[in-house]
Structure 1
Amino acid sequence: MAEQLSFDLPVREARGREDFFVSPANAEAVAMIEGWQGWPSHKLVLTGPPGSGKTHLVHVWAALSGARIVSAADLPEADIPDLASGPVAIEDCDAIAGNRPAEEALFHLHNLAMAEGRSILFTAEKPANLWNLTLPDLASRMQGTPASPLHEPDDTLLGVVLMKLLADRQLSPTPNTVPYLVRRIDRSFAAARDVVARLDSLSLSTGRPINRALAAKLLDNA
């Protein structure tokens, strides 16, 4: 049998507001992003597990506010006064715990932005009191920042997330595939990303369409 040709198409994530599905798991966070001009002290920490939509909402907020987006790990090489001159979003703030240059840069950016009355959005997987920051002044400022969580998905949101992940990969499942997956996989964003990636790979390697039978084969052999 001839080997099936595979075409690994690029993943293009849709990050517009119209692409973000609101459910009880994320409604509070969406409301905070859309009402950003009313943030207490002009700042917010957005928390949630990987795949929960933090980066998507950061891009939504950037479109609303004109903010720039930077990773916390890149702050030591950034022009901090320039970043503090307008709204700014700092991603993955909990990842810099113990990185003294990054912690100091984030501390200075926070203080400059607050002094200028600029809005600043922080993202992290966990609440600020669990970041294990080593700079006490930064830790106290982060723990005193209002926070809004993104929770693991309910069944409705999980189905929407699966459809979006498939669409990002330019995949078209049969109508009964996603409801089947929702019933079978763990209710988490990580599980959704994992199963979509494995379905894509299995479909490419076998030349079979993405349908309930292929999903069953994947999950039964896991």
Structure 2
Amino acid sequence: MARQLSFDLPVRTALGRADFFVSSANATAVAMIEGWRTWPARKLVLVGPRGAGKTHLAHVWAAQSGARIIPARDVAAADIPALAEGPVAVEDCDTIAGDRAAEDALFHLHNLALAEGQSLLFTATAAPNHWPLALPDLASRMQGTPTVQIAPPDDELLMAVMMKLFSDRQLSPAPQVLPYLTRRIDRSFDAARDIVERLDAAALEHRRPINTTLARDLLDNDDT
């Protein structure tokens, strides 16, 4: 069978509240985001593995609160007083550990935003007590921030995540594909993202529909 070149086409990620699937693995996190007006001390750390939906929930919160979203690595170059004038979501905070300029900026943003009566959302892959921060004052403030965790996905959530990933790529797999993949892949968000990307590429390259036969061929090839 003739093959065709595969291209990385734009992926349109849906980030609205209606696009976020709630299961037992993330229900507490969703409830905390939706109840943001009652956060203790007006701040929250949202923790979960890559692909768990932290960015999606940050956008849900931003839509509700009017918050700006900024990657932690960009805080050092930001106008902190201007940023602190409204609610702020700072993403991937654990990735700046050891970067003194970024840590100093996050510390000042934290203090100024709260002094202005604003709310703060921080996202990370680990709880703050596992961030190897160099600035003790920032570490103490992060460790004193309420934390909510997104748990590893259950079957229901894993299927919903894959369904959304396919939808973001404008793909419609056969109905049996999602249950089949859920039984075969590792129970992680990374595994879900990886298999969707690979099925997309394989379907395009080989001009085949995304069905259980294609999924089986791909996964069986991994086992050999």
Question: What amino acid maps onto 1:147 in structure 2?
Answer: T
Shift of 1:169: 0.8
- CA deviation map 1:171-214 (0-9, x unaligned): 11001011100000011000000111111111111000000000
Shift of 1:17: 0.2
1:169 aligns with 2:169: yes
State the TM-score, normalizing by the size of structure 1: 0.98
Shift of 1:8: 3.7
Partner secondary structure for residue 52 of structure 2 = coil
Whole-Å Cα distance in 2 between the matches of residues 7 and 94 of structure 1? 33
The CA RMSD measured in Å over matched residues stands at: 0.9
- CA deviation map 1:123-167 (0-9, x unaligned): 000000001101000000000000011111000100011110111
Partner secondary structure for residue 221 of structure 1 = helix
Match of 2:28 in 1: 28
Alpha-carbon spacing, 1:175–1:45, altered in 2? closer, same or farther (3 Å): same
Match of 1:146 in 2: 146
Whole-Å Cα distance in 1 between the matches of residues 102 and 145 of structure 2? 18
Match of 1:128 in 2: 128
Whole-Å Cα distance in 1 between the matches of residues 136 and 51 of structure 2? 30
Match of 1:56 in 2: 56
Whole-Å Cα distance in 1 between the matches of residues 154 and 63 of structure 2? 27
Partner secondary structure for residue 171 of structure 2 = coil
Give the % identical residues: 69
Partner secondary structure for residue 70 of structure 2 = strand
Question: What amino acid maps onto 1:13 in structure 2?
Answer: T
Shift of 1:2: 4.3
Question: What amino acid maps onto 2:181 in structure 1?
Answer: L
Shift of 1:117: 1.1
Question: What amino acid maps onto 1:158 in structure 2?
Answer: L
Whole-Å Cα distance in 2 between the matches of residues 8 and 74 of structure 1? 27
State the TM-score, normalizing by the size of structure 2: 0.97
Whole-Å Cα distance in 2 between the matches of residues 216 and 136 of structure 1? 51
Whole-Å Cα distance in 2 between the matches of residues 177 and 131 of structure 1? 38
Alpha-carbon spacing, 1:2–1:22, altered in 2? closer, same or farther (3 Å): closer
Gaps of 5+ in 2: none
Whole-Å Cα distance in 1 between the matches of residues 164 and 76 of structure 2? 34
Match of 1:137 in 2: 137
Shift of 1:114: 1.1
Shift of 1:120: 0.5
Is contact 2:162–2:192 with CA below 8 Å preserved after alignment?
yes
- CA deviation map 1:79-135 (0-9, x unaligned): 000011110000000000000000000000000011111000000000000011010
Give the aligned length: 222
Match of 2:65 in 1: 65
